[in-house]
Chains A and B, each alone.
Chain A
Amino acid sequence: MTDQDILALFTKIIRDLLSDESITLTMQTKREEVPNWDSMNYINFIAAVEIELGVKFGVADIESFEDVGAIVAQTSAMLR
C-alpha cells in the first residue's frame, strides 16, 4: 500500500464519518481545517483506520500527529 493509497483510504473514511463528500485530504491537511472533524470524530477516525487496516496506534502517536501526512507516515510504518 503506497502512501497515496493510504491517503485515499483516509479520505474515504473521513467522508463516510462526516457524511461529507466534498472533503479531500492532502498530506498537509490539519484536522482544524476540516469542518466538523472534532476530537470525537478524530477518535472515531483512528478507530476506523485501525479496523480497516488491522493496525494499532499508540496513545503517544495519536496525540502527536500534526497533520494527515504524519498519520499516513505512521500507518505506512506499521504496515511494513
Chain B
Amino acid sequence: MILLSLAAREAIAGVPIIATVAEVDQAIDRQVDELRHLWRKARETFKATVVQQTFLDATDPVFGSYDRLVPAAPSRLIARLNDRMSQAAASESVLLLDVARASERNGIDAWFDRGRWFQAKMEISQPAAPLYGDLAARVLAAQRGLSKKCLVLDLDNTLWGGVIGDDGLEGIVLGQGSALGEAHLAFQRYALQLKARGVILAVCSKNDSATAEAVFENHPEMVLKRTDIAAFIANWHDKAENLKTIATRLNIGLDSLVFVDDNPVERARVRESLPMVAVPELPEDAARFVPCLADAGYFEAIGFTVEDRQRAAQYAANAEREALLGSSESVDDFLRGLKMSVSFGPIGTLDLVRATQLINKTNQFNPTTRRYTGDELAALAAAPENVTLQFRLLDRFSDNGLVSAMILRPDPGEPEVLEIDTWVMSCRVFGRDLEREAMNVAVEAASHRGVRSFRASYIPTKKNGVISNLYPSLGFARMEQTVPTDGATRWYLNLADYEYRPTHIARTSK
C-alpha cells in the first residue's frame, strides 16, 4: 500500500483571499491534477494499492461565520479540495482515508498540535497516531475483504428499553415521548441504515420466540420489522451456540459477525468462547449505542456495489427459497422450481469492482484462496492469453448478481494447457449446480481457443473444506506428484474427455 499523507497548508498556499470562484477552481484543479499524476506514478512504480488521505482542516477563521461565503477562505479551499480530490480518487480507483471526517468527529485539536507542526512539520500529533493507524488498517482490511458482514442484535435493553418477557408490549420503552425510547429508536434506525447498505441483520436473544417476534409484528414504534432480520433466534440456549447457528444459517463465517448486547455477562461469554466474533463494549447509556458501533469501523467499505444494494432483498428472497425447498419433493424438484438462468462473459471493466470484492471476500468456495487487488485483476483480465469469466445467476425470486468469477492462465511454455488460477463463488448460491454450469461454460470457452486441458489446485484452508471434492466431482483426475507441504492436491482434465454436466440453469447470453 502507498499512503499519501499530505498537509493541506502546502496545498492551498498561494491562493489569495481575494481569489474568485473561477480562480479557486483553477488552483484546486491544478492540485488535483498533480495528485492524479502522483497516484499513477505510485501505482506504476510500486504496483501497490494507493490510498489518499483527505486534507485535515486545521485552519483558523479569517472572517468568522462569513468564511463560508468567501471562496478563497482557507476552510472553504480545503473543503473544495477534499471534494474534488475524492471524486478524482474514485475515478482512479484510489482509496480514501478520510481523516478530515474523523477529525470533525473528535475535534481538530485531538489530531493537530500546532507546536508539533512548527517543530517537526508533524501534521498528525502523537496522541492521534493510534486512531490514525486504526483508520488506515480498516481501509486496507476492507480492501482485503475482512470487513464484517452481519450485525447480530440482542433485543431487551438493546433494541428497546426494558424486558419484553416481564414488562409486556405496553411496558417496554421505545419511541417518541421518552428520551430513552428515542435513543433505542435511533439505534434501530442506524441498524436499518446498515441493512440498506448491505449489512445483514440478525437477532440473538434470550426470550420466547413468539414473545420476541410479537414486538416486531405488533409494536407501533418498531422501526425494524421482522422481514429486516435475515436470521432470528430467540430461545434460552447459550448465545455462543446461537451465534454459530446464525453463521451457519446465513452461510458466512463467525468472523463476519458483530454481536451487540447490553449485557456485559453475555458479551464476556461470547468473547471467551468465540474470540473471532466482534463484540463492541457497549456503553451503559443507550444514547451512545450508535456512535459506539459506528466508530468501531466494523463495516468499513471501499465501494458500494449493486450487490450491496440488493443484498437485503436477496436475503429476504432466500427465506422464500427455503420455503420452496420445504414444499419441494426433492432437491431436483426444488432446483427446477427456481427457474434459474445464468448470464456470463469475460470479466469486463464494469465487473471489476464486484469481481474484486468477490475474490477477496470468498473463503469457502475458493480452491486456491488467491487475493487480487482491482488493479491486478484488471491486468489479468486484459491479458489476451488468459481466460476470465464472470457469472450472474437469476432465479424466480431475485437477481443474485455477479456470484462467481474464474481466472484461467496458460502454463508457461504450454499454451494449450490452462491453469485454474482462481475460482470463487458466493456462498449465497451454493447447492444450485452453478459450479457445474460454470465448468461447462469454461470448457466451451477454452475449447474454442484450442486449449486441450485444464489443470487445477485445491489448497485446503480452514474454510474451504466444503469444496474438497470439487474437482473430482467435475470429472478432473488427480495428478501424481510428490506430496506438497501445504496439503494441496493437483488435478487435471482433458477437455476432449469432458462430459457436459446437466443442470437446471438456462443460459441467457453468450
A, B from the same assembly: yes
Residues of chain A having any CB pair with chain B under 8 Å: 39-40, 43-44, 47-48, 51, 56-59, 62
**How far apart are the CA atoms of A46 and B275 in the complex, in Å?**
37
Most chain-B CB neighbours within 10 Å: which of A40, A57, A59? A59
User: B263 at interface (Cβ–Cβ under 8 A)?
Assistant: no
**Does B127 lie within 8 Å of A59, measured CB to CB?**
no
Chain B's closest residue to A43 (CB) is B120
**How far apart are the CA atoms of A47 and B113 in the complex, in Å?**
10
Q: Contacts of B115 on A, CB cut-off 8 Å? A: 56-59, 62
**Does A47 lie within 8 Å of B126, measured CB to CB?**
yes
**How far apart are the CA atoms of A74 and B115 in the complex, in Å?**
16
User: B119 at interface (Cβ–Cβ under 8 A)?
Assistant: yes
Name the contact of B119 in the complex, choosing from A48, A56, A62 (C-beta under 8 A): A62
Name the contact of A59 in the complex, choosing from B119, B122, B125, B126 (C-beta under 8 A): B119
**How far apart are the CA atoms of A68 and B121 in the complex, in Å?**
24
User: B288 at interface (Cβ–Cβ under 8 A)?
Assistant: no
**Does B118 lie within 8 Å of A59, measured CB to CB?**
yes
Chain B's closest residue to A56 (CB) is B115
Residues of chain B having any CB pair with chain A under 8 Å: 115-116, 118-120, 122, 125-127
Q: Contacts of A57 on B, CB cut-off 8 Å? A: 115
Q: Contacts of A48 on B, CB cut-off 8 Å? A: 126
Q: Contacts of A44 on B, CB cut-off 8 Å? A: 126
**How far apart are the CA atoms of A56 and B116 in the complex, in Å?**
11
What are 22 A-B residue pairs whose CB atoms fall within 8 Å in the complex? A39-B120, A40-B120, A43-B116, A43-B119, A43-B120, A43-B122, A44-B126, A47-B116, A47-B125, A47-B126, A47-B127, A48-B126, A51-B126, A51-B127, A56-B115, A57-B115, A58-B115, A59-B115, A59-B118, A59-B119, A62-B115, A62-B119
SS of A interface (majority): helix
8 interchain residue pairs of minimum CB distance? A47-B126, A43-B120, A59-B115, A59-B118, A43-B119, A51-B127, A62-B119, A59-B119
**How far apart are the CA atoms of A56 and B119 in the complex, in Å?**
14
Chain A's closest residue to B117 (CB) is A59
Q: Contacts of B126 on A, CB cut-off 8 Å? A: 44, 47-48, 51
Q: Contacts of B120 on A, CB cut-off 8 Å? A: 39-40, 43
**How far apart are the CA atoms of A56 and B127 in the complex, in Å?**
13
**How far apart are the CA atoms of A19 and B120 in the complex, in Å?**
22
Q: Contacts of A56 on B, CB cut-off 8 Å? A: 115
Most chain-A CB neighbours within 10 Å: which of B118, B125, B126? B126
**How far apart are the CA atoms of A48 and B122 in the complex, in Å?**
15
Q: Whole-angstrom distance from the CB of B117 to the nearest CB of chain A?
A: 10
**How far apart are the CA atoms of A57 and B119 in the complex, in Å?**
12
Q: Whole-angstrom distance from the CB of A25 to the nearest CB of chain B?
A: 20
Q: Whole-angstrom distance from the CB of A8 to the nearest CB of chain B?
A: 22
Chain A's closest residue to B126 (CB) is A47
**How far apart are the CA atoms of A39 and B119 in the complex, in Å?**
10
Chain A's closest residue to B115 (CB) is A59
Q: Whole-angstrom distance from the CB of B131 to the nearest CB of chain A?
A: 14
Chain A's closest residue to B129 (CB) is A47
Q: Whole-angstrom distance from the CB of A46 to the nearest CB of chain B?
A: 8
**How far apart are the CA atoms of A59 and B126 in the complex, in Å?**
16
**How far apart are the CA atoms of A62 and B113 in the complex, in Å?**
14
Q: Contacts of A51 on B, CB cut-off 8 Å? A: 126-127
